[in-house]
Structure 1
Amino acid sequence: MSLFSKTATVALLASTAISTAAFAQEAPAPGDAGEAIIVTGTRTTGMRAADSAAPLQVVGTQAMQAVGQQDLSQVLAQSLPSLNFQAFGGDTANLTLSVALRGLSPNDTLVLVNGKRRHTTANLAVLGGSPYSGGATTDLSFVPTNAIGQIEILQDGAAAQYGSDAIAGVVNIILKDKSEGGLFTVTGGKNYEGDGETISSALNIGFKLGDRGFVNVTGEYKFHDYTQRGNCDRRYFTPTCSIRTDIDPIDAAGVQLNPFFPNVNPILGDAKYTIYNVMVNAGYELSDNVSAYAFGSYGNRIAKSYQNYRRATRVVGTTSTGATVYPFPAGFNPQESLREEDFSVTGGFKGDLSGWNWDLSLTYGRDSVAIYTLNSVNPALYADLQLQNPTLIAPQRNFYDGTLINSEWAVEGGVTKEFEAGLAKPITLAFGGNYRKDNYTIVAGEPASYYKGGAQAYPGFAPSDSGSNGREAYAGYIDLAVDPVTGMHIDLAGRYEHYSDFGNVWTGKATARYDFSEAFALRGTVSNGFRAPTLAEAYYSSVNVGPGTIFGQFPPNSPASTALGFGPLQPEKSTNFSAGLVAHPIPGMQLTIDAYQIKLKKRIVPSAAIFGSFGTEVVSQAILDALVARGISLVDATSYSGINIFTNGADTRTRGIEATLDYTTDFDDAGKVAWTVGFNYNTTKLLKVYPLPAQVANPAYGQTDLLDRNSRDALTRSTPRVKTIVNALWTLGKFSVNLRETIYGSSAQWTSYSGSGNPGADGVTELKIGTTAITDLNVGYKLTGGFRLDVGANNLFDKKAPTIPTVGGRPASGGNVYNAPLAFTPWGINGGYYYARATFTF
């Protein structure tokens, strides 16, 4: 049965089940985002998005409906010019992808749900040379899009208002609170290449809770299949995909037996995953002045991602009789897999006491990631066991590598009061505080997963990696909003926080807006902020074993890292400035333009590869000693070995301009067109790179810098400086067409065979992506008042990702796959994607 046949079947069954329901239109009218009442970035009640004193955008249900991939990360990336999506990740980062705002780290954006801090993932992106490396932020895949009423994105530093992480901005997800009706939707799609089959379905329904309350429930299912890009493996094939004549005959025969032949290495592509989500939002008025509320979610993800192909001779054994045996005549394709459970619950009370509006809440969030290595083998363990048997034995293929757990408790209380003082508007005073307790745990894997060199591709967490680390934080804030004269709004915020692991932090923010008339206003902000290191960045420890390579990810907050000259992580410190205008040049049109600057001191960055050895040559004995002390066998390090580490390694300055334009054209009998244009220009400059500790430096081998050329580019050039989104939504009766053009500016990154991008004996190549326009199209039709069909395509004209050139007979990056797509391609590596969707609103 074809993909669309499956989708249509599910849709038909759902239509029959709901045929007796009274249908009603749910989607808001186009072009009204500026009229939406917002709660983000201000303590003043009843403020419209159009009146915000800081840059803020609202994404409503209609914008979400026009995106083919119903994942919140994709929805935001295709709606906001200042936000970029991680299209592909290395190792376990490919299993939990991130988004980033204003060209900064994903960790510099705070995510809220109904105004309360959302917990973060336990999985850490550790692959160097990526702008998303170090990402351990909120996993947006566990927030069902159909549970969302609207999303408010504050594009401004807000640490003084919300605390740590709000350096680039805040994403506040407002859940639906309807007490009746709902929707059922099912979507199916796949890539033009014929892979990446995707199926998703969701049910949202509201119920009354007595006479004074509501419960709104959303269930969601998502499935996505593997994709594979690139060609054959350079280790066994020529650039024309002929089998090399200079390799071992056993390996030559093995690649022909591999089920993926001739493209035997499927490492470059999407992970396969299944996600189940449930989200609940509820409220009840206990009296006229007091109400209770609760919301929470449970998500479960199972994901698998391929790693580098291992040749037939990679695993070899000797029987007790002295015979040599090869247990994998076709080689093997190891996979990294995870089973992730994500849970969050918030409960609280709020009310009005003589004009004092108060809110008291308790939140608990937990993300648990159990990691497995599948279809692999531990070569050392197999060799030891085979030596005890006279005949070929079956090696262990699947390994439990351990579990990562991140948990967060938060208690928050706040009070808001308006005072008449004879000014243009009442003064708004808000103050409050919160307490947080965070914990990060690494549970060791089974012994077979880390024995000697460990299982191929991803050795398990050894007892030396395991442990539980936590911290506590206390905070108090005060916020004052004043309109001294008509048209002028001033908002002042101050915050004090104390962290048990690094001490005190003071932050402040001043925001002002002056409306000269209904048609023109100026606004600006100045603030300082901070980001506390995630516990994952501080304590994550692992080993990566590639074909011929071994690298340890060392936790910065450990004695081993201190001995190598790296200190414990400290918070990032930021200074933010922005200035802009809001204009309504003609009725129904809104134009905003905002310029901003973000200076970051002691920015937490992933180091470049710090080598211990090149083949048999010692680069740093201290690194080798640290790896051995960690319990790592260096037998597999035939090419090189070393470590990576997160450190406060750089000071950066990010400057940019954001602009938005919203307008609706009424063509009478020909319908209406809602036009939106978003533009972002963003550039980051390295002001300072901190030195590499002397304990691990070696000028003779060029090991002198904390950041190599490739990792510098990850911070400054691999994200497009310009992103423009032009969107036109035409509605005519039951018919609608949404056409979106996203224009990505150029981006680039230096690379070399070693991956460093530094000029040297192995050469250096600049990887470039030119300015590219990506077209998305969605066509919708309402068959009845509540039954809607959509068909569409993302990347309609199938723009391909540029590929890594071949230099000297091998990929310029030192990778193994010919014609590998550039992983930093901002629109993704998979090409065009088409889909169909059926939605029943009742």
Structure 2
Amino acid sequence: MVSYHNSRSAARSQKSYSYATVSALLVATTCLSTLPTTAFAQAEDPAAEETIIVTGSRREARSVADLPAPVDIFSAEDLSRQGSPDVANLLRQIVPSLNVNDNTISGTASGIRPVTLRGLSPDHTLVLVNGKRQHRASDIPTFSGGISDGAQGPDMASIPAIALKQVQVLRDGAAAQYGSDAIAGVVNFIMSDAPEGGTIQAKIGSTYKGDGDSYQVAATWGTRLGENGFVRFSGEYSDTDMTTRAVQRGDAQALIDAGFEDVPTPATRFGSPAFKDDIKTFVNMAVENGLGGEFYAFGGYAQRTVYNDFFYRNAADRQGVFTDGAGNYLVGDMTPDDGVTCDGGIDFGGTGIVNDPIGVNDPDALARLAAASANPNCFVAQNVHPGGYTPLFGNKIKDIYGSLGMRGDITDKLSYDVSFGAGRHSMHIFVGNSLNPSLGTGSPVDFKNNGKRHQSEMVFNADLNYAADVGFHSPLNIAGGVQWHREQFEVIAGDPETYLAGVLATQGFLVGEESYPGYSPAIAGTFSRRNISAYLDLEANVTEALVLGTAVRFEDFSDFGSKVTYKLSGLYNITEDFGIRGTYATGFHAPTPGQQNYSGLTTELTTDGRLIQSGIIPATNPAAVAVGGKPLKPETSKSFSLGFVYDAGWLSLTVDYFNIKMKDRLTQSASYALTDEQKAALVAAGYLSAVDLGSVRFFTNDFSSKTQGVDVVATMPLDFIPGGKTNFSLAGNWTETKVTSFDPTDPDELLSVTRVLQLEKNLPRYRGNASITHTADNWRALARVNYYGKYTEMHVNSGGLRIDAGSEITFDAELGYNITPAIELSVGAQNLLNNNPDINPYRFILGSKYPTTSPMGVNGGTYYARVQFQF
């Protein structure tokens, strides 16, 4: 029987909340229930470690030099030689054109970190697991540095690294091959199909500063099913503490100097968030189906809880909580109709104004506030948070997904693959150490449920592959298939105290939990769509030296209509070792139901450093329409690449230039102030906190861009070094993005200068790494140098806080030793010399010591130790 453990790429997609959840559970259950009661252990299959490239081409290749498009191959061993338990972090270190930031103080994006490829948005990169489309996350970041804001991509952190066989990264447009989203490229996680044996790992680590302690235990085990089948179980558990890279804010220090008590130090813990109870599991299996092929199934479950700080709320100037915005402290009257006026509060018995306000700078201010708070009918926020407060944002994330299907050969030239997949990603938001100011004395401090979001998807694929003899040097590979998929985005309302307007709402106090107001029933809802597609893919060696390929895909969406994309590719081998290659592709990304309908309220920073309430509303909301909002439409792209491959015994080298032009790109609009009439209309529509909004934003198709760059990948054996086996590898990337349609003089322009700078300059234009690995007898060593070019950060998305940061170099190292043939002990360090980003010139405004979007991270050096047992 032919082995199909590395299945040919097929796109999967998206589903509905209840149906997808049940479907994913059924898939996962099937992975277990179909196992025979008896498994036969045999000698390990020597072919299990073969590299078969199944990404970017539907003809299986064994070398990147055989492909007309650039593909990187990383083994599980490549990924394991690092300290982080997170797959996205592992890829960031070895794929120069892939970026993922720590996203400190970024709300939901701190725990579901967006991953970008070739400088484009996270949802411009398609993620596959075993060649099947991975569902999106339920997060749509709105505060993650600019490039990722408004994107809805998959959650790579749900994939356990120990379950991997390899990762294949296609750096090329591939929407015609795989469907919507594959504009920048494709990341395909190939899961381990080793038919027997297992590994147990334990890892501990920390930062040089002594925080961010982490530990991880992981295991994988497989056994044969019958003569040719297998099943493999994998799982990881990890726990990582928060890091703090902060200084004390100037205003917080001023409160301490003025005698305020309980001012947190530092006021905000800028750094990496805490990840607690981080569980990842995966099952991968295949067994003969009795029809000359095999039945396969795989799936996983993951969960984690993430904690990180929000901005500090100053006890002497946070408007709507502590002050009225006019220099006076707020004093609320919980019983406005009892005829008794609170000192410093509104006179409800006569004038309707504050007759004797408590000025922030009055010498007796604190004494008067204390006296007012002693009255149970009066409320001052200082009685709850005397030194101000920093809300603690929490997000519990759950992810379940799976696919099952059959594949095999109908004839010696015709093969098939039929599959069904489903997935559901959910997040449960909660906030501690905060207030709903309008509830006054009735407000909790800890809010257990600010709301939930679910992203659910289902997909069915039917794919055929036929090798036709048409007179070319090789058979013409004809691949075709159909796909049906459905996706659904659901917002579930939070507990009433997270969004309700209390008695103090008319007295100047903010409505809803103050840092992340809960989703109200009016905002909550379920939004879905479906689409069907069909594709045709042709590829062959026309001559011994010339490979040509073409693909075309038709997709029809229930909300956007139809779209056709195509791709042309070619590779010409001038000599046995040297060839030139190129591609031309069209692509698109259809805005998701979440992007079209998501609403949320949070805080943002003004150019003068003040916190204000800000809202994200649908582009079709009347308040958005009034300032230019329009229904969203698909983003489209045209891209080409041109490069060469050189593959000789002493050197393997690929150099590829790429150029991606996009129209109707999706991003967040600039912030717009609301009129009183617009606020009233939003309140009437269920946005109860809109009465306090300082601004609103919405997603918009408002600009075009051109992204170009060069990728260089080289590997070389260093045979001249005696005493073992030594290899050198180098990977470099130059990427430049230009917004080509921005006109700041146009009164209808929806982009801001800040957003343009983030899109063009937030990621470094130059990135690269070079590494040397050496193995000899019972030990091995790794040394790597990483380069990060200059970048520009608009600090915490504020146009007035621009940081032009310089380039940085870091070093990584790992040393491993086999105590016995089965037990290896390894120690390592990332950022070995403890290099830090440039100091943030605005650090005393908010407290962040370093730029929060630093591509090298903000934690400095980390060290780790790992023990591994193989059996």
**TM exceeding 0.5:** yes
Letter of the structure 2 residue corresponding to residue 800 of structure 1: N
Tell me the residue number matched to 2:426. Answer: 368
Shift of 1:132: 2.1
Comparing 557-566 with 49-58, which one deviates more in the overlay? Answer: 557-566
Alpha-carbon distance change, 187 to 492 in structure 1, aligned in 2, over 3 angstroms: same
Alpha-carbon distance change, 25 to 350 in structure 1, aligned in 2, over 3 angstroms: closer
SS of residue in 1 equivalent to 2:543? coil
Tell me the residue number matched to 2:372. Answer: 324
Letter of the structure 2 residue corresponding to residue 565 of structure 1: G
Shift of 1:137: 1.0
CA offsets 1:165-197 (integer angstroms, 9 cap, x no match): 100000011111122101011111111111111
Alpha-carbon distance change, 507 to 534 in structure 1, aligned in 2, over 3 angstroms: same
The answer to whether the 8 Å contact 2:86/2:161 transfers is yes
Comparing 567-576 with 325-334, which one deviates more in the overlay? Answer: 325-334
Tell me the residue number matched to 1:73. Answer: 88
Counterpart selection for 1:299 from 295, 302, 306: 302
Matches within 5 A, 1:168-187: 168-187=184-203
* 2:456 aligned with 1:398: no
Tell me the residue number matched to 1:344. Answer: 401
Shift of 1:331: 3.6
Counterpart selection for 2:736 from 683, 703, 706: 683
Shift of 1:706: 2.2
* 2:809 aligned with 1:773: yes
Alpha-carbon distance change, 27 to 180 in structure 1, aligned in 2, over 3 angstroms: closer
Counterpart selection for 1:804 from 840, 858, 861: 840
Tell me the residue number matched to 2:290. Answer: 287
Tell me the residue number matched to 1:574. Answer: 637
CA offsets 1:95-132 (integer angstroms, 9 cap, x no match): 21121100111111000011100001101111164222
C-alpha RMSD over aligned residues: 2.6
Counterpart selection for 2:649 from 581, 587, 592: 587
CA offsets 1:231-262 (integer angstroms, 9 cap, x no match): 11232225xxx8454xxx5xx2232xx4xx3x
CA offsets 1:802-827 (integer angstroms, 9 cap, x no match): 23214xxx85xxx522x531012101
The answer to whether the 8 Å contact 1:128/1:608 transfers is no
* 2:829 aligned with 1:793: yes
Shift of 1:756: 4.5
Letter of the structure 1 residue corresponding to residue 762 of structure 2: S
Tell me the residue number matched to 1:13. Answer: none
Tell me the residue number matched to 2:147. Answer: 131
Tell me the residue number matched to 2:664. Answer: 602
* 2:91 aligned with 1:38: no
| Aligned-partner Cα distance in 1 for 2:517–2:46 | 49
Letter of the structure 1 residue corresponding to residue 665 of structure 2: R
Which ranges of structure 1 fall in alignment gaps of 5 or more residues?
1-21, 386-393, 613-619, 698-703, 758-763
| Aligned-partner Cα distance in 1 for 2:184–2:46 | 30
| Aligned-partner Cα distance in 2 for 1:357–1:557 | 46
Counterpart selection for 1:441 from 473, 486, 490: 490
Letter of the structure 1 residue corresponding to residue 750 of structure 2: L
* 2:868 aligned with 1:839: yes
Tell me the residue number matched to 2:572. Answer: 514
Matches within 5 A, 1:189-228: 189-228=205-244
Comparing 62-71 with 506-515, which one deviates more in the overlay? Answer: 62-71
The answer to whether the 8 Å contact 1:530/1:572 transfers is yes
Shift of 1:327: 2.5
Counterpart selection for 1:408 from 457, 462, 469: 457
Letter of the structure 2 residue corresponding to residue 786 of structure 1: A
Tell me the residue number matched to 2:726. Answer: 673
Comparing 94-103 with 304-313, which one deviates more in the overlay? Answer: 304-313
Matches within 5 A, 1:730-741: 730-741=774-785
Alpha-carbon distance change, 218 to 327 in structure 1, aligned in 2, over 3 angstroms: same
Shift of 1:346: 0.3
Counterpart selection for 2:701 from 648, 660, 666: 648
| Aligned-partner Cα distance in 2 for 1:621–1:37 | 62
Counterpart selection for 2:280 from 257, 273, 277: 277
Comparing 531-540 with 460-469, which one deviates more in the overlay? Answer: 531-540
Shift of 1:329: 3.1
Shift of 1:736: 1.1
Tell me the residue number matched to 1:742. Answer: 786
Counterpart selection for 1:554 from 617, 627, 650: 617
SS of residue in 2 equivalent to 1:37? coil
Alpha-carbon distance change, 567 to 46 in structure 1, aligned in 2, over 3 angstroms: same
The answer to whether the 8 Å contact 2:163/2:234 transfers is yes
| Aligned-partner Cα distance in 1 for 2:52–2:228 | 23
* 2:262 aligned with 1:254: yes
Letter of the structure 2 residue corresponding to residue 581 of structure 1: F
| Aligned-partner Cα distance in 2 for 1:750–1:431 | 46
| Aligned-partner Cα distance in 2 for 1:709–1:820 | 25
| Aligned-partner Cα distance in 2 for 1:357–1:626 | 59
The answer to whether the 8 Å contact 2:145/2:853 transfers is no
* 2:121 aligned with 1:105: yes
SS of residue in 2 equivalent to 1:666? coil
| Aligned-partner Cα distance in 1 for 2:497–2:151 | 29
CA offsets 1:82-103 (integer angstroms, 9 cap, x no match): 1111222412211211211001
| Aligned-partner Cα distance in 2 for 1:156–1:720 | 20
CA offsets 1:4-62 (integer angstroms, 9 cap, x no match): xxxxxxxxxxxxxxxxxx99999999xx9xx8220011111344333111001001022
The answer to whether the 8 Å contact 1:273/1:301 transfers is yes
Letter of the structure 2 residue corresponding to residue 278 of structure 1: T
Letter of the structure 1 residue corresponding to residue 171 of structure 2: Q
Counterpart selection for 1:708 from 748, 752, 763: 752
CA offsets 1:742-777 (integer angstroms, 9 cap, x no match): 1111112456xx9543xxxxxx56412212111111
SS of residue in 1 equivalent to 2:718? strand
Alpha-carbon distance change, 756 to 232 in structure 1, aligned in 2, over 3 angstroms: closer
Which ranges of structure 2 fall in alignment gaps of 5 or more residues?
1-40, 323-330, 343-370, 374-382, 502-510, 605-609
Comparing 622-631 with 648-657, which one deviates more in the overlay? Answer: 622-631
The answer to whether the 8 Å contact 1:209/1:284 transfers is yes
| Aligned-partner Cα distance in 2 for 1:454–1:460 | 7
Comparing 309-318 with 474-483, which one deviates more in the overlay? Answer: 309-318
Letter of the structure 2 residue corresponding to residue 660 of structure 1: V
SS of residue in 2 equivalent to 1:688? coil
The answer to whether the 8 Å contact 1:634/1:641 transfers is no
Shift of 1:465: 1.2
* 2:110 aligned with 1:94: yes
Alpha-carbon distance change, 632 to 422 in structure 1, aligned in 2, over 3 angstroms: closer
TM-score calculated relative to the size of structure 2: 0.83
The answer to whether the 8 Å contact 1:496/1:504 transfers is yes
| Aligned-partner Cα distance in 1 for 2:593–2:334 | 46
The answer to whether the 8 Å contact 1:780/1:791 transfers is yes
SS of residue in 1 equivalent to 2:694? strand
| Aligned-partner Cα distance in 1 for 2:71–2:91 | 13
CA offsets 1:294-323 (integer angstroms, 9 cap, x no match): 000011111111112334574665576756
The answer to whether the 8 Å contact 1:473/1:497 transfers is yes
Tell me the residue number matched to 2:548. Answer: 490
Tell me the residue number matched to 1:468. Answer: 526
Letter of the structure 1 residue corresponding to residue 761 of structure 2: R
